[in-house]
Amino acid sequence: MTIEVLSRPSSPALIPSGQMQPVRRQRKNVLDLDDFSVAEIEAVLETAAAMKDVLSRPIKKVPTLRGKTLVTMFYEASTRTRVAFEVAAKALGADTVAVAAASSSVTKGESLIDTIRTLQALGADFVVMRHHQAGAPYVVAEEVKASVINAGDGWHAHPTQALLDLFTIKERLGRIAGLHVAIIGDILHSRVARSNLWGLTTMGANVVLCGPPTMLPAPAFCEGLPWNVERTYRLDEALEGADVVMMLRMQLERGSGGLFPSVREYVRTYALTEERLARAKPGAVVMHPGPMNEGVEIDPRVARGAQSLIEAQVTNGVAVRMALLYLLSGLPA
């Protein structure tokens, strides 16, 4: 048995107790948070705090990854994730290359194989990949020598978003364990929700999922998973006593797909307004992975209000990705 770990060589042993002693191997890829331990997540969050210090200096740059190349490959539109990776890589002295990836459904399989060959030819050290189909980064990770970082694959996972969410929560509230976190919206089709479920439950948060029945995973399908958590269809119930309110983006560009009758009814039932937010704990924080549909899932006053961490999420996204790149490179502290 082998486990991949992401930690500085100086950190304490991460081997869990048990009869089978897993072999530790420096982590190569970040594909999801389902294989991250508490210690590993903590290592990322601590390193990200140090990176945030670097970013607050007058010269926001260190030469740690000089000579390394990071390739971004986005088959699906993204602004903040792609930019955050590029800024993070540059702040660490790495070179970045953006490969334009056709998202045409006609090319399908061929395009992914093409991608793999391109990456091998480029000799990239890091590949940051976003793809509209779940599992695509796994195909690439198996084939290339570079570290592959999943920047979002279909409905499946968005691990760096979840890590920056964890970092932002801990930074503001001082801890993650024991917090009540409400995730609200289209859970079933959300990679952000999936990765956050792994991350939050690993770190000991109490999560409640809230959305219309057509957008929640069936309870039977959650059995035996760490994210077999509380669920409700009613927003007010989910907000009751919440420390963190995590809103998801409504994928309006996909159309309703028969999942809900109208935007109007969705807004009426699930939009986070100031009145409804009042049900959460005083000082509760509001998060959103962006881009927001202001006026749909979230009222603009809440998005810009004192309880919103949405801008901090964007800023922290750079520090967390710097931390990941640094840790993946396996360099000593």
Partner 1 sequence: MIRLVGGRIIDPASHRDEIADLLIDSDRIVDNAGSNGETVIDVSGYVVAPGFVDLHCHLREPGFEDAETIASGTRAAAAGGFTTVCALADTQPSTDTGSDVEALLTQARRDAVVRVLPVGTTTKRRESQELSEMVDMAEVGAIAFSDDGRAVRSASLMRHALEYSLLVERPISSHAEDPDLVDGGVMHEGRLATVLGLKGIPREAEEIAVARDLALARLTGGRLHLAHLSTAGAVEQVRRAKAAGVRVTAEVAPHNLVLTDATISDRPYDTNARTDPPLRSLEDAAALLEGLRDGTIDCVATDHSPRRWIDKACEFDAAKPGISGLETAFGLLMRLVHNHSLSLTELIAALSQRAANAWALPYGTLEPGASADVVVLDPDQAWVVDPERFLSKGKNSPLGGQTLRGTILLTIASGSIAYRNGL
Q: Using CB under 8 A as the criterion, which residues of the chain lie in contact with partner 1 when the complex forms? A: 31, 34, 108-110, 112-113, 131, 133-136, 138-139, 153-157, 188, 191, 194, 217-218, 220-225
Nearer to partner 1, 89 or 211 (CB): 211
Rounded Cα gap, residues 117 and 107, in angstroms: 15
Helices (H), the chain: 38-56, 80-91, 108-122, 136-143, 159-173, 191-202, 219-222, 235-239, 263-270, 274-277, 300-303, 310-328
Nearer to partner 1, 107 or 273 (CB): 107
Report the chain's terminal Cα–Cα distance, integer Å: 27
Torsion of CA 171, 330, 29, 104, to 10 degrees: 90
Distance of CA 81 to the CA centre of its chain: 10
Structural contact between residues 244 and 169, judged by C-beta atoms closer than 8 angstroms? yes
User: Least Å distance between CB 154 and partner 1?
Assistant: 5
Nearer to partner 1, 188 or 238 (CB): 188
User: Least Å distance between CB 282 and partner 1?
Assistant: 35
Nearer to partner 1, 34 or 42 (CB): 34
User: Least Å distance between CB 155 and partner 1?
Assistant: 4
User: Least Å distance between CB 4 and partner 1?
Assistant: 13
Write the DSSP string, 292-328.
--BTTTB-HHHHTSTTB-HHHHHHHHHHHHHHHHHHH
Could you give phi then psi for residue 83, rounded to 5 degrees? -65, -40
CB atoms inside a 10 Å sphere around CB 189: 18
User: Least Å distance between CB 23 and partner 1?
Assistant: 19
Nearer to partner 1, 117 or 301 (CB): 117
User: Least Å distance between CB 75 and partner 1?
Assistant: 10
Nearer to partner 1, 151 or 272 (CB): 151
